[in-house]
Structure 1
Amino acid sequence: MTVSRRRRLAAAALAALLLAGCSSSPAATGSTAGSPATGSSGSPATGSSPVDPGTAGSTSVTSAGPTESAVTSSSTTTPDDGSAPAYVAGLQPEIDRVVAELGIVGGVVLVRSPELGDWSTAFGTRTYRGDDPVTLDDHVRIGSNTKTMTATVILQLVQEGKLKLDDPVSTYRPDVPNGENITIGQLMDMRSGLGNYTTDLALNEEQDANPSRVWMPEELLAMGLAMPPEFAPGQGWFYSNTNYVLLGVIIEQLTGHKVEDEFASRIFQPLGLQGSSMPALADAGIPEPHPQGYTYGTNVGTIDSNELSPEIQAAAADGSLAPFDVTGLNPSWGWTAGGAISTAGDLAVYVKAMVGGGLLSPEVQQERMDSVIPTTDNPDGQKYGYGLGLFPGGFYGHSGELPGFNSFMGYDPATATTVVTWATNAPAPNGKPPAVSLAQVTIGALAG
């Protein structure tokens, strides 16, 4: 591998850090949502109950050489015949370290690299202290990775002449404050200045008290549009889930169809993504097979920071405090900003098409790739920012977090390398996003 390619891969690890803070969870920092967990004292909050710790123990399973297919086979133990790519020797200890440090219950790391070799591993269990191993086929909530799908459909509608990126949002939603000066493109690249409804205290309180509640898009927009603007349109950058709920409403307005149907016909079916779906608003289920999602914090308790108290961190680490199962949380509050479900194999196929081409015309695809407005510079010369529904770096893609689930997908067009990770128990008690942490060490190992 050339020095320049190594630098691109290493730089992407920094990009993953930037992705970490941009989940679709309710609080500004990407905090958790769902069943009440624990208070600052470390004792269960009123009316809540932890999962049954069950029997201690976990199972790690791996597989080598995934094919370029959306449907992955169940993971099996890697044969001890030296067939794993060379980078695995350095990567596996790093994965083990991150799993132990962040208390990951279960997860997946998938790499597809024509130069360095394909490899994937599924580790841990589907339930806390259970004995049912995670597999590569498992379905998980993918949080803000959904935004890339919403943006892709909007760009397809641009191709079809149904709207333009420089159209004012007031054309479609006259109720948006200052909407005549906010463009569709500014919604997509987070430069509208609109407030982020997921930081609303009432939303977080209701999520703690009533995690099964079905939220309608208009309810979410009412919260976001009532917030004071962060800045004048185009004069700054602010990650706001309100932008992407607005885009979802516009998709349904222009197509006359539910977004779940548009995602299926425009993205999932053409790419053969049999494990991917956008659930209907009232659907709180996850297709089988799937792991359970766990978290330790409440929504309100993590509005300012995902990092929990030292007491809770210590209790989680020594096993005296079990996490709370938030698998059944209704994801309608995330909708087109964060409600989709997928598998590691599907995400690998999707992110390659999203970045490398196959879902848009060559002209619109190039416009998307050129859309990133840098927000920071790296000493290596890499620029990071946000474009039309994607983060750039050595790897282009996104991350996502819903309570109990964290995921990352990235594709480097220079090396044709794909990295996908997901993990449960999200965020970790120390506030770190586990899948993004796994992506960092994976990209670091690929960079040598």
Structure 2
Amino acid sequence: MEYIKATNPTHTFTFDEMVGVVATTGLYYFRPEPTFTTATQAIRCSGKLLKEFRGKLYGQFITDEIIKPMGLISSTMPALGTDRELPQPFVPGFVHIPGTIQNVTVSNISGNVAEGNLITTPLDLALFIRKLMRGEGVLSSNLVYSTMLNCLPATPGSLSLYGCGVNNINLLGYGHTGAHEGYLSQMIHDPVTDVTLVIYTNGWGPERGLTR
């Protein structure tokens, strides 16, 4: 993607284009074993399946079925290579590169559709995770409990617990991270104490972790 964006910054990446690389080459991380990694290609496939079977683009489906019903008034799903600007007001994103700090706010998000193309706010993240974990969103409380709160060890013997799309963060609750160049976030909700936490930063330092 970086090569294409360097020569054509507004190129719109498609599901066929992104998934086709793996389908053609047969690339994989490892053969099936009792371990896992984040499978962004599998998530992209879900976006293509939505279009094929529901007749809606991924962003429109998420907007109609999740964003609007859950009252997330500051969340959007950009999908085109020309959708490079954040809506006003926004917080600029930065990456620390040895010797300099680069502003990376303007970004082509089309290659991240379905696996990370949400523009949102800390308030919307807090509202979403609280409603979701309490069974007050688009999923019933029974479904949330059986698939998300009923976590399993991420790997055999691991203290890290994982449900369907959420991690159990010890003593804090259940949640998920979000990341795009220049931005990192974590949303967490504890159903027992009804406490919601959103952690957010707009600085990356690849060689040292996060910058402030």
Interval of TM-score (by shorter of Structure 1 and Structure 2): 0.7 to 0.9
Q: How does 1:166-205 map onto structure 2 within 5 Å? A: 203-205=1-3
Corresponding residue of 2:11: 213
The structure in which a higher percent of residues are strand is 2
1:386 and 2:186 matched: no
Amino acid paired to 1:393:
I
Mapped to 1, the partners of 2:41 and 2:124 lie a distance apart of 26
Residues 262 and 370 (structure 1 numbering): CA distance in 2 closer, same or farther, change over 3 Å?
same
Mapped to 2, the partners of 1:284 and 1:418 lie a distance apart of 30
Corresponding residue of 1:352: 130
Corresponding residue of 1:38: none
**Percent of residue pairs identical:** 25
1:422 and 2:189 matched: no
1:362 and 2:114 matched: no
Q: Which has the larger radius of gyration?
A: 1
Corresponding residue of 1:258: 57
Alpha-carbon offset, residue 227 of structure 1 = 4.0
Mapped to 2, the partners of 1:328 and 1:343 lie a distance apart of 17
Q: CA offsets, 1:99-158, max 9 Å, x none? A: xxxxxxxxxxxxxxxxxxxxxxxxxxxxxxxxxxxxxxxxxxxxxxxxxxxxxxxxxxxx
1:412 and 2:187 matched: no
3-state SS in 2 of match to 1:247: helix
Alpha-carbon offset, residue 219 of structure 1 = 1.1
Mapped to 2, the partners of 1:433 and 1:413 lie a distance apart of 29
- Of 75, 86, 96, the residue aligned with 1:276 is 75
1:399 and 2:177 matched: yes
Corresponding residue of 2:44: 245
Alpha-carbon offset, residue 272 of structure 1 = 1.3
Mapped to 2, the partners of 1:422 and 1:256 lie a distance apart of 34
Amino acid paired to 1:335:
V
Residues 360 and 401 (structure 1 numbering): CA distance in 2 closer, same or farther, change over 3 Å?
same
Unaligned runs of 5+ in 2: none
Amino acid paired to 1:295:
V
Mapped to 2, the partners of 1:208 and 1:431 lie a distance apart of 26
- Of 147, 154, 160, the residue aligned with 1:375 is 154
TM-score (norm 2): 0.85
Q: How does 1:71-220 map onto structure 2 within 5 Å? A: 203-220=1-18
Residues 246 and 413 (structure 1 numbering): CA distance in 2 closer, same or farther, change over 3 Å?
same
Q: CA offsets, 1:210-239, max 9 Å, x none? A: 443221111111123334333444643121
Q: Contact between 1:260 and 1:280, CA under 8 Å: does it hold in 2?
A: yes
TM-score (norm 1): 0.43
Q: Contact between 1:279 and 1:339, CA under 8 Å: does it hold in 2?
A: yes
Alpha-carbon offset, residue 405 of structure 1 = 1.3
Alpha-carbon offset, residue 372 of structure 1 = 3.6
Q: Contact between 1:372 and 1:385, CA under 8 Å: does it hold in 2?
A: yes
Q: How does 1:27-42 map onto structure 2 within 5 Å? A: none
Q: Contact between 2:104 and 2:181, CA under 8 Å: does it hold in 1?
A: yes
Unaligned runs of 5+ in 1: 1-202, 298-311, 316-320, 436-448
The structure in which a higher percent of residues are helix is 1
Residues 334 and 392 (structure 1 numbering): CA distance in 2 closer, same or farther, change over 3 Å?
same
Q: Contact between 1:377 and 1:384, CA under 8 Å: does it hold in 2?
A: no
Mapped to 2, the partners of 1:296 and 1:212 lie a distance apart of 24
Q: Contact between 2:176 and 2:186, CA under 8 Å: does it hold in 1?
A: yes
Q: Contact between 2:135 and 2:142, CA under 8 Å: does it hold in 1?
A: no
Q: Contact between 1:216 and 1:281, CA under 8 Å: does it hold in 2?
A: no
Mapped to 1, the partners of 2:3 and 2:161 lie a distance apart of 32
Mapped to 1, the partners of 2:5 and 2:58 lie a distance apart of 23
Mapped to 1, the partners of 2:10 and 2:104 lie a distance apart of 10
- Of 224, 233, 256, the residue aligned with 2:22 is 224
RMSD (CA atoms): 2.5
Corresponding residue of 1:181: none
Residues 273 and 289 (structure 1 numbering): CA distance in 2 closer, same or farther, change over 3 Å?
same
Q: CA offsets, 1:369-395, max 9 Å, x none? A: 2564312589xxx83243322222232
Q: CA offsets, 1:74-117, max 9 Å, x none? A: xxxxxxxxxxxxxxxxxxxxxxxxxxxxxxxxxxxxxxxxxxxx
Alpha-carbon offset, residue 429 of structure 1 = 4.8
